[in-house]
């Protein structure tokens, strides 16, 4: 089984980082930054307008720049056997 990776942006520096996705739903995305004993979990939640997901890791804001609708479409495309969300 391969781990799904997404690119997030650290707003403070503008740097992009690849992170591993633990679980993904349209309501939130749980990611892990780092490897081994130095990893940190974070939950990304949609912004008010639903155009991006944001979270905090060790005081730094991170952004996943995909809309809630795009994430739901990715979930439906990757696993079509799941029941469609309402």
pLDDT-derived band of residue 84, with 50, 70 and 90 as boundaries? Answer: low
Strand partners, 43: 30
Q: What is the mean pLDDT of residues 8-26?
A: 94
21 closest CA partner among 74, 58, 86, 69: 74
In whole angstroms, give the CA distance from residue 11 to residue 54: 10
Residue 17 C-alpha from the chain's centroid: 12
pLDDT in tens, 32-66: 998 889 999 999 999 999 999 999 998 999 999 99
Asked if the model's pLDDT at residue 86 lies above 70, the reply is no
pLDDT score, position 49: 94
- Hunting for tokens 């942006």 — which residue is that? 9
Share of the chain above pLDDT 70, in %: 92
In whole angstroms, give the CA distance from residue 3 to residue 20: 6
Q: What is the dihedral of CA 44, 50, 51, 55, to 10 degrees?
A: -20
pLDDT score, position 2: 73
């Amino acid at each position: 089984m391969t781990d799904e990776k997404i690119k997030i942006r650290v707003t403070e520096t503008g740097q992009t980082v690849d992170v591993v996705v633990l679980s993904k739903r349209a309501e939130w995305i749980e990611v892990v930054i780092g490897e081994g004993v130095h990893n940190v979990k974070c939950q990304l939640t949609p912004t008010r307008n639903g155009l991006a997901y944001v979270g905090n890791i060790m005081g730094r804001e991170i952004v996943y720049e995909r809309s809630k609708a795009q994430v739901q479409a990715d979930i439906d495309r990757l696993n079509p056997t799941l029941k469609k969300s309402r």
